[in-house]
Homo-oligomer: A and B are copies of this chain.
Amino acid sequence: MSIAATTPVPEAYTPRQNAVLESALGLLVEGGERALTTAGVARAANCSKESLYKWFGDRDGLLAAMITFQSSKVKAEPRVSGATGRAALVSQLTGIAANLLKVLAGDVSLALNRLAIGQARRGEADLGQLLREHGRKPIETRLSALLEAGRREGLLDFADTREAYRTLYGLIVRDMHVRLLLGDSLDGEAPGARAAQAIDEFFRLFGREENTGPAPERTGAGNERTG
């Protein structure tokens, strides 16, 4: 409950601490949570347990620091380009979608999500909230901004941004994330192809046909799918 409070202010760690967090993440990606013992982290990072406790205060503090550290690494997202038009919107959405799939399927992301989920209980959800805040909020804000821009341009038509975002998320990710979390391996499922298809489906649901050229839905032209 005091995860956000244990770290007083710094929020940015020294290079040495970053290295320790890095090897801790490696340890987590390998053997899972049970491999993430304080002694193990100290041994893997060539540091002392005493330093660990001094820097992160607690084992939970270490876990929280690992999450914020990892999210800070992924923050290197480029800004949205100012281009307008349907093609630009589709391109940007597809890029974000593919990136989302790639991130979600990454080893470190999966390990951290497994850690937070395994930790979560009914009410208390320490790491889960932290992970949602640092991992999912950014994606949501970026996608939502893009959707609303598309709506302002008259390319998209939806009432509730959050609802539209969630549907888009569902079309992109489907059950892939939970399957991966449960240990399944995604067979083929190239991120790029899936992203493009999801964006296409999203436009068929929320696109304004006047701007899409040959309106597919009303004319019964058919929605051919390629599996």
Does A45 sit at the interface, judged by CB under 8 A?
A: no
Task: List B contacts of A174 (CB < 8 A).
Answer: 166-167, 169-170
> Is B118 touching A119 in the complex (CB atoms < 8 A)?
yes
In chain A between 169 and 227, which residues have their CB closer than 8 angstroms to a CB of chain B? Answer: 169-175, 177-179, 181-184, 201, 204-206, 209-210, 217, 220, 222-227
Q: Does A30 contact B (CB under 8 A)?
A: yes
Interface centre among A157, A173, A225, by most chain B C-beta atoms within 10 angstroms, is A225
Chain B residues whose CB sits within 8 angstroms of the CB of A125 once the complex forms: 182-184
Query: Considering the chains assembled together, what is the distance between the CA atoms of A210 and B164 in angstroms?
Result: 27
Which partner residue on chain B sits nearest A124 by CB separation?
Answer: B183
Q: Check B167–A120 contact: CB distance below 8 A.
A: no
Q: Give the top 6 A-B pairs by smallest Cβ distance, nearest first.
A: A125-B183, A118-B118, A160-B227, A170-B174, A128-B182, A128-B183
